[in-house]
Amino acid sequence: MIKIKPSLLLFICLTLILSFNSPVQAQCVEIENCELVWSDEFDGTEVDTTKWSFQRGDGSEVSLPPGWGNSEQQWYTENNATVAAGFLTITARKESVQPGWNFTSARLRSFRKADWTYGRMEMRAKMPVGKGLWPAFWMLSTNREYGGWAASGEIDIMEYLGSEPDEVLGTIHYGGEWPNNTFSGTPYKLPEGSFDEDFHVFAIEWEEGEIRWYVDDVHYGTKTEWFSSAAPFPAPFDKKMHLLLNMAVGGNLPGAPDANTMFPAEFVIDYVRVYQEGDPPAVTINAGFNDAWYNPATNGQGFLMTVYPDIQQMFVAWFTYDTERPAEGVEANLGEPGQRWVTAQGSYSGDTANLKIFVTEGGVFDSAEPPVSTDANGIGTMTIEFADCTQGLVTYQMTSPNVSGEIPIQRIVGDNEALCQSLAAQ
């Protein structure tokens, strides 16, 4: 079977990681075995009304004082939320579609369509800038078991004031019904730059008795103390809550727009995702170097796997032999005996690795220092699922050449024990 000198594999591993690695954010920071349970990637051409519903007007329809109880100045419409090019854009405009209201914007919620108790709720988004702009990503109780606002709780995953473009707020509201409610929160300020310059990931991880806030997976706030006038702790944050996305204009917190506030203003959302704790995997991928696996159906396909836990990345070198091992010095070209290797790199979690496939050009097997170049865009995807430390399944799809399939793999007995021992230990 295939044996490659460690110096060769190490050279290729380091070359690819230096060439292609970018910061990888874990699905969840502290929630173990978290699984994606709901998301909107905004890949369509309009708001997905199976996931979101619109709230319209000034709040009167839901028995709030005009201005949504906050003296806000916008009238919410469906026309101010658009989906295109993989983004949801909520646009605030200076216009009047209803007498007495000089601005329009949009407010969406997952009410009666999706709600959760506990999990990681995250959004990747880019903010507008300007006084009076108030985008938010937040949660409210679905069934209001403990009473009206804020007795049943509110979690503000992210609030942002356009007049303070380098800062966001994470807050909870709780206690009794208004005006017998209270709140507590924590601000987060970017080390450099501002939230209107680029996209950032805003998230909470909500577990029983604890809520944590993150920006780009930097943990900046934790709440473990709150109360409800209707039930003991951890009420009210122990019931199903749904998501809201909106951009208010004016209001008690940001104040009114001024002459420098530019309209239209855009709150651009790349995705919204929800993760929850799942069942632990049968095995867990851990650190291992040069661990060799093969396809028992052909004895001609080999996979060398290296795991880098510090950056949560797996590197795979995939070889194919049509016959026996090629003669010394045979170039590795696709479609010929002794084929050029295909490489893959990506993140892993639990018993599964999700990788991007690359082609490494110009390598010669067992050469000490082969020339290496790759297509940074990749040529496809690969998923590896481990059943245990002796067998697994590779699923792949490549665009060049246009091939796809599944490959059962087994571990080569007597090879490097590091990865297998780590798998077995779990």
Report, as residue numbers or ranges, the catalytic residues: 154, 159
Q: Is the peptide bond before 150 cis (omega within 30 degrees of 0)?
A: yes
Please give the Cα distance from 38 to 356 (Å, whole number): 23
Q: What distance in Å separates the CA atoms of residue 65 and residue 77, rounded to the nearest whole number? A: 18
Cα 154 from Cα 174, distance rounded (Å): 7
Q: Ramachandran region of residue 376, left (φ > 0), alpha (ψ -120 to 50) or beta?
A: alpha
Strand 74-76 relative to strand 101-105: parallel, antiparallel, unpaired? parallel
What backbone phi and psi angles, to 5 degrees, belong to 338? 75, 50
- Residue 405 burial (CB count, 10 A): 9
Residue whose C-alpha is closest to residue 51's, from 63, 37, 31, 62: 37
User: Is 397 strand, coil or helix?
Assistant: strand
**What are the residues facing 294 on neighbouring strands?**
302, 410
Contact 163, 135 (CB under 8 A): no
Q: Which positions ≥6 away from 409 have C-beta within 8 Å?
A: 293, 294, 295, 296, 303, 384, 391, 392, 393, 394
One-letter amino acid for residue 47 of the chain: V
From the list 6, 400, 29, the residue with the least C-alpha distance to 206 is: 29
DSSP letters spanning 206-272: EETTEEEEEETTEEEEEE----BSSS-TTTTTTS-EEEEEEEEES-TTT----TT--SSEEEEEEEE
Q: Give the helix/strand (H/E) hosting 418.
A: helix 418-425
- Say which residues have a Cβ less than 8 Å from residue 20's Cβ, sequence separation at least 6: 345, 356, 358, 374, 376
How many of the other CB atoms lie within 10 Å of CB of 85? 8
Return d(Cα 12, Cα 306) in angstroms, integer: 11
